[in-house]
Structure 1
Amino acid sequence: MQRRNFLTTAAGLVALPALPTVAQAAVQPDLRGANRIKFAAVGLNHSHIYGQVEAVIRGGGELVSFYAKEPDLAAAFAKRYPQAKQARSEQEVLDDKSIQLVLSSGIPIDRAPLGIRVMRAGKDYMSDKPGIITLDQLAEVRKVQRETKRIYSIMYSERFENRATVKAGELVKEGAIGKVVQTIGLGPHRIALMSRPDWFFDKKQFGGIICDIGSHQFDQFLFFTGSTKADVVASEVGNVRYPQHPQFEDFGDVMVRGNGGMGYVRVDWFSPEGLKTWGDGRLTILGTEGYIEIRKNIDITKSEKGNHLYLVNQKETRYIDCADVPLPYGQQLVDDVLNRTETAMTQEHCFLATELAIKAQKQAEVVKLKV
């Protein structure tokens, strides 16, 4: 439905007051082809690797090689990026002194051990989420990162790759809703059952639903509340719909409290087939002077596209179409690789977000419902 038709009353719907749009900032320059750093990909088990690669290319990175032990995954990647050399082994990538950054979207249990090898090889690392799935892994990653001073970044794409969430960060920084009190992060997903590999259903391999897709929500909670310390108040998980996969979880929720605010997280695998996207992801940021609601992938009331932001404060109620808001993460990460800085995300923030997700998963009460 076009925005200009949004006020038209449809059967069963009530027209809402007009929400004025605002002009967007110019799209961030695409540094594609600048070849500011050379990078590689190792482990291609999740399609998130393509978003990771595109972010670094936009930031001026040159993809020079890749490795995957699965022939089908390697063939698909080679077709997408014919300019990249297919390495014969992981070690070939690690031994290439020209490579400064390694990306991975391998099986989750393998991501932290690979990151450790990458850092010990003198390179920086960017993992898909979850980048770490156990507290033992986290302790070892922290140790090696301190020793090597390399970057261990986890791509929390629900913030870094969502333009409305980036815009919300700008508005919060400007004080548009006052002091942030709480975030509510909703991360529903479509399961696409028949397309999933075996490891997807094994909690030992993927870490559990809160550790996995919930890690996005903890990143956003820390970012928007400004919390540098936080504790899990309560958490629960369940396998409601898929008893044929007893090691799988399809629902989880968490209450978290930090030194900058409070948060609630809900994640699930219940997105229905009738929804015209993989998940109706939402984020509500409550402040002392107003609130922001983000509809990340779709607004079922008016648009099948994503990046919708609603701002309500003491002065106005406003809709912001964030389709043209720049995505800075890729360029910032490349800058950090070159300058040894932490502009994309501080290392402690990266680790704390995943620590909270792991702890919430570990202490979660298992809930059993009859359906």
Structure 2
Amino acid sequence: MRFAAVGLDHAHAFGQIAGLLGQGCELVGLATDDRDAAVARAVAQRWPDVPWSDDPDELLTDPSVDLVVTAAVPDRRGPIAVRALRHGKDVVADKPGCVSLEQLEEVEKAVAESGRFWSVTFSERFEVRSAVKAGELVQAGRIGRVVQTIGLGPHREGDRAHLAGGEGRPDWFYDRDRTGGILTDIASHQIDQFLFYTGSTTADVVSSSVANYTHPESPRMQDFGDLTLMSDRAHGYVRVDWYTPRGLPTWGDGRTTILGTEGFIELRKYVDLAGREGGDHLFVVDQETTEHVDCSDVELPYYPALVHDVRHRTQTACPQSHTFEVMRLAITAQQNATMRGSAA
């Protein structure tokens, strides 16, 4: 399977490219709007033999390319996806896959017209072994019926890994029109997990808010957001922020609590505060015991499933309707959010 990477502005591109290469796919081309971006430079260093195209459209329209991955500036991901879809390619986009309901509608039309799929890489589930294991435990009925999730997504603004070695966030990071806003961007992860763990196909945004408490000089940047969700079977709460202090040994203390009628699961995805080393800490409590589950040998199914879906026209990696609904809810929460602090 031949794929191209078009749009290299966020470090999630590394995971997308490596995930497909790990399945035996061939990276046949690279293109981006800004070759000087830190991520683009790092991609060039990591895969020096892959040819670059000066015009991204050459790869988006190349009939020999089966799939396009994109981690472009968020407001560019929707248009890139539409162009690729309409030229017969499946698309894997970094989250958020688009930044407005208008962009989402264009993607939905392109998917329907082309028969190709649009997958958004919700990496906080797809690329986290403890999150995959939690899904297995939920499906096995370990904690009964899931009635609520609480998803916390703190991030560090100056994290070196997300900056790909760059000295600071690019200008577009501080403009909500380009990022989609903190709920469209980060909270899409937690919305994805709410729908997945609760078995919900749709939900309503009950309330949402965003704020800028630490960047008065950049009022179009948002550093805090939260929202509540409700479906016909469960409740959800999400909190996201850019406040992770330098003292934490990783970029954020990402946590998910999954409440069931017979127990609960808590994920400490990236760090166990003052406890066990490493990440992927899963704790499950049921009617019999409290247990810490080792997730180190859990297989990540997303990229193998993507390749299967391209070859067999299936939806095993993630149902298309689920991806559409996650982005609809995230954008709706963002658009309807109450603003606080210096947010404008």
Shorter-normalised TM range: over 0.9
- Could you tell me how far apart the structure 2 residues matched to 1:86 and 1:143 are? 30
TM-score when normalising by structure 2:
0.94
Hey, what does 1:317 align to over in structure 2?
290
Report 1:134-283 matches (<5 A): 134-192=100-158, 195-283=168-256
Per the alignment, in what secondary structure is the counterpart of residue 274 of structure 1?
coil
Contact 2:61-2:84 at 8 Å conserved across structures: no
Per the alignment, in what secondary structure is the counterpart of residue 71 of structure 1?
coil
Q: CA deviation at 1:75?
A: 3.8
Report the AA paired with residue 189 of structure 1: H
- Could you tell me how far apart the structure 2 residues matched to 1:228 and 1:139 are? 18
- Could you tell me how far apart the structure 2 residues matched to 1:115 and 1:75 are? 23
State the Cα deviation string for residues 278-324 of structure 1 (Å, max 9, x = none): 00000000000000000000001313411000000012111012122
Per the alignment, in what secondary structure is the counterpart of residue 43 of structure 1?
strand
Q: CA deviation at 1:325?
A: 1.1
Per the alignment, in what secondary structure is the counterpart of residue 297 of structure 1?
coil
Q: CA deviation at 1:183?
A: 0.4
Per the alignment, in what secondary structure is the counterpart of residue 8 of structure 2?
coil
Report the AA paired with residue 42 of structure 1: V
Hey, what does 1:308 align to over in structure 2?
281
Q: CA deviation at 1:91?
A: 2.1
Hey, what does 1:86 align to over in structure 2?
52
Q: CA deviation at 1:205?
A: 0.5
State the Cα deviation string for residues 200-232 of structure 1 (Å, max 9, x = none): 000110011001000000000000001012000
Per the alignment, in what secondary structure is the counterpart of residue 82 of structure 1?
coil
Per the alignment, in what secondary structure is the counterpart of residue 300 of structure 1?
coil
Per the alignment, in what secondary structure is the counterpart of residue 72 of structure 1?
coil
Contact 1:228-1:259 at 8 Å conserved across structures: no
2:16 paired with 1:64: no
Hey, what does 1:21 align to over in structure 2?
none
Q: CA deviation at 1:78?
A: 2.0
Q: CA deviation at 1:151?
A: 0.8
Report which of the two structures shows the higher radius of gyration computed on alpha carbons: 1
Contact 1:57-1:330 at 8 Å conserved across structures: no
- Could you tell me how far apart the structure 2 residues matched to 1:297 and 1:122 are? 37
Hey, what does 1:17 align to over in structure 2?
none
Contact 1:228-1:260 at 8 Å conserved across structures: no
- Could you tell me how far apart the structure 2 residues matched to 1:304 and 1:196 are? 29
Identify which of 320, 331, 341 aligns with 1:347: 320
Structure 1: unaligned runs, 5 residues or longer: 1-36
Hey, what does 2:257 align to over in structure 1?
284
- Could you tell me how far apart the structure 1 residues matched to 2:94 and 2:247 are? 28
State the Cα deviation string for residues 170-200 of structure 1 (Å, max 9, x = none): 0100000010000000000001185100000
Which deviates more, 72-81 or 117-126?
A: 72-81
Hey, what does 2:61 align to over in structure 1?
95
- Could you tell me how far apart the structure 1 residues matched to 2:222 and 2:41 are? 31
Contact 2:70-2:77 at 8 Å conserved across structures: yes
Q: CA deviation at 1:68?
A: 1.8
Structure 2: unaligned runs, 5 residues or longer: 160-166
Report the AA paired with residue 12 of structure 2: H
- Could you tell me how far apart the structure 1 residues matched to 2:73 and 2:50 are? 22
2:78 paired with 1:112: yes
Report the AA paired with residue 10 of structure 2: H
- Could you tell me how far apart the structure 1 residues matched to 2:33 and 2:98 are? 21
Contact 1:102-1:126 at 8 Å conserved across structures: yes
Contact 1:65-1:85 at 8 Å conserved across structures: yes
- Could you tell me how far apart the structure 2 residues matched to 1:96 and 1:327 are? 30
- Could you tell me how far apart the structure 1 residues matched to 2:33 and 2:173 are? 18
State the Cα deviation string for residues 45-83 of structure 1 (Å, max 9, x = none): 111100111111223322111112323344431221123
Per the alignment, in what secondary structure is the counterpart of residue 76 of structure 1?
helix
- Could you tell me how far apart the structure 2 residues matched to 1:42 and 1:185 are? 30
State the Cα deviation string for residues 88-145 of structure 1 (Å, max 9, x = none): 3112212322210100000100100110000001100000000011011111111111
Report sequence identity in percent. 51
TM-score when normalising by structure 1:
0.88
Hey, what does 2:270 align to over in structure 1?
297
Hey, what does 2:11 align to over in structure 1?
47
